[in-house]
A and B are shown apart, each in its own frame.
Chain A
Amino acid sequence: MPRRSLERRPRTAVAVTVLLFAWLYLPILAVTLFSFNDKKSLSAFSGFSLRWYHDLAHDQALLESLVASLQIATLATLGSLVLGTMLALGLERVRSRRGRVIGAVTLLPLVTPEIVTGVAALLLFTGIGLKLSLTTVVLAEITFSIAYVTVIVRGRLAGLSTEVEEAARDLGCTPWQALRLVTLPALVPALLGAGLLVFALVFDDFVLAFFTTGVDPQPLPVRVYSSIRFGVSPAINAIGTLMLLVSALLIVAALVLLRLFGRGTSSLELITGGERR
């Protein structure tokens, strides 16, 4: 469809866009580049070297933090997938006033500043006498991530017709069987996509982890934060590059997956919650 009057390119808008892209990517690229620098300098690249990665591989405390963060992200992803899917199914099928109230309450963590959620979780865990540890981080992260899973799964559920499930019921399935054999398999792409997103968010999450973690081992972002506070160094560039790599892989996988299975719903709309067109 020719759009005559919009043909003229808005030069200012295009210029701003190009600048934004430069601003978004250049700092990240600089971090990556200087993590391979053979000198300590952060402004002059003098030669390629893996020495900072070599240092990392021998930093026991840091490796423990990396493992801790991977464990936190795995457990929080599994937990929030189960609870978020249950919530999505319940909200989608129980269409009562109470259901809408519950739906609104569960979205609250998305609009609450993380520092508030973090403080609240810290007070709760201390109040019930739970010792701060990786377990408390996982509990807080699950609570925070349920909403993401619910939003994505509900988006997918809304696009599914209930007829197949009804047919399964007519053929003698119990409601549970119909759910397990018909609806859940149809949700698999949404679940995979949501799982990857939550894993990436939790793995990188700093604020909640900062408030709810115990002393040892600390999640990776918390450890990175305490070293960043004291300045910029090539070793942090190397950790940063690894963390960027992990999130990049997860996000690209999520985008591709949601796109492959999405059929009509673009992955982006799932992430952004945009309307289907």
Chain B
Amino acid sequence: MVALGPAPAPRRSAQRTWLWGALLAVPTAWMVAFFVISMVIVVLLPFGRTTNDGFPVFSTSLDNYRALWNDVYLELFVRSVLYALATVVLSALIAYPTAYAIALHGGRYKNALIAAVVVPFFASYLIRMYAWKALLSDDGLVNSGLRGSGLGDGIAFLNTPWAVIGGLVYGFVVFMILPIYASLERLDVSLVEAGKDLYHGPVRTFFSVTLPATRYGLYGGALLVFLPALGDFVSAQLLGGAGTYMMGNLVQQQFNEGQNWPLGSAMTVGMMAALTALMVAYLRATSTQARET
């Protein structure tokens, strides 16, 4: 059942192991029951079908997995990946300078500043998306400001890909800032000083010393932003429209409106497969790089 420790050495350590083993067993059982098994069901249900009265039942059909290979779904898949990638790139462009300014030039306000970045991200994701929507809507502050200053009739921000991507960046940019900040904090300043002597000029020093030394923070952040962005459906639902739907919207529709759970599960598995492939590629890339350096 549970780990019973290495050897029955002295009695006390056996007793201890028994207690720790018992402590480990309960939450492990919980995670197996509620997480592992639920994931197995997600993978197995696509082999099933929906009965005539709308109930999902297990079966051995490959139809749902085959149904994924279809122009509409593939287009949504590609769009989701592109949106998520754009989110990663924009987040990096925003997060790196921010983390840099706070970590290296924050002085004694460093901790307060980074806390001020983190705090809004604990506020409801939904309310923050809503706030962003309210600001961009046709009668929102931005457009009424534009009209007020005579800069035209205002712009239809909502329902565009950029509104959705903007929402994703707004939602997840903190996951990029924190790892970059952590790696900049660990940065050896004497390296940068040496770089300045060697390369002349802050720009070359940045690209040949600082950026390479903090690349793991950047990679980690990219992964942490990409994962939730690819599965998101709230941003596309609130800030976009049918033309900007992502995979998450498709999944959500199958479970709420379409009521085809086996197909919805197949889509979920497709999403997980894409993410797992990416994670494995990431882990392999970082581990070979770590070995080389």
Contact = CB atoms under 8 A, between A and B. Distances in A.
Given A14-B101, A113-B271, A274-B182, A268 B118 contact: yes
A264 interface: no
Interface residues of B, number: 98
Given A89-B20, A102-B31, 7 more contacts: A5-B196, A28-B131, A115-B233, A120-B41, A123-B38, A124-B41, A251-B119
A82 B50 CA distance: 39
> What's the dominant secondary structure at chain B's contact region?
helix
B120 interface: yes
Contacts of A24: 117, 120, 170
Interface residues on A, range: 35 or more
Interface in B200-226: 202
Contact of B126 (A21, A169, A224): A224
B12 interface: yes
Nearest to A240: B127
B28 interface: yes
Interface stretch (A52-60, A185-193, A203-211): A203-211
Given A16-B101, A124-B38, A228 B133 contact: yes
Contact of A252 (B119, B140, B192, B193): B119
A115 B251 contact: yes
Contacts of B62: none
Interface string A33-52: 01000000111100000000
B28 A87 contact: yes
A239 B275 CA distance: 35
A31 B126 contact: no
A106 B39 CA distance: 13
A112 B131 CA distance: 26
A263 interface: no
Contact of A84 (B27, B111, B279): B27
A203 to B, nearest CB: 8
Given A94-B17, A268-B118, A114 B228 contact: yes
B27 A83 contact: yes
Contacts of A243: 123-124, 127
B20 A93 contact: yes
A102 B6 CA distance: 17
B164 interface: no
Contact of A94 (B3, B128, B252): B3
B91 to A, nearest CB: 11
Contacts of A123: 38, 41-42, 45, 261, 265
A31 B140 contact: no
Interface string A262-277: 0000101001101101
A260 to B, nearest CB: 14
Interface string B142-169: 0111000000000000000000000000
> What's the dominant secondary structure at chain A's contact region?
helix
B268 interface: yes
A204 B12 CA distance: 45
B86 interface: no
A75 interface: no
Interface string A95-115: 010110010011011011111
Given A6-B105, A17-B98, A119-B264, A248 B123 contact: yes
A87 B24 contact: yes
Given A8-B202, A17-B101, A31-B130, A87 B27 contact: yes
A27 B135 contact: yes
A187 to B, nearest CB: 13
Contacts of A108: 35
B111 A31 contact: no
A228 B16 contact: no
B101 A255 contact: no
Nearest to A20: B98
Interface in B95-120: 97-98, 100-102, 104-105, 111, 114-120
- Listed from nearest, the 4 A-B pairs whose CB atoms lie closest are A113-B231, A90-B24, A27-B131, A43-B144
Nearest to A200: B122
Given A3-B189, A27-B132, A17 B97 contact: yes
Contact of A175 (B16, B38, B104, B124): B16
B182 A275 contact: yes
Contact of A6 (B30, B39, B104, B272): B104
Given A23-B170, A175-B15, A206-B125, A94 B5 contact: yes
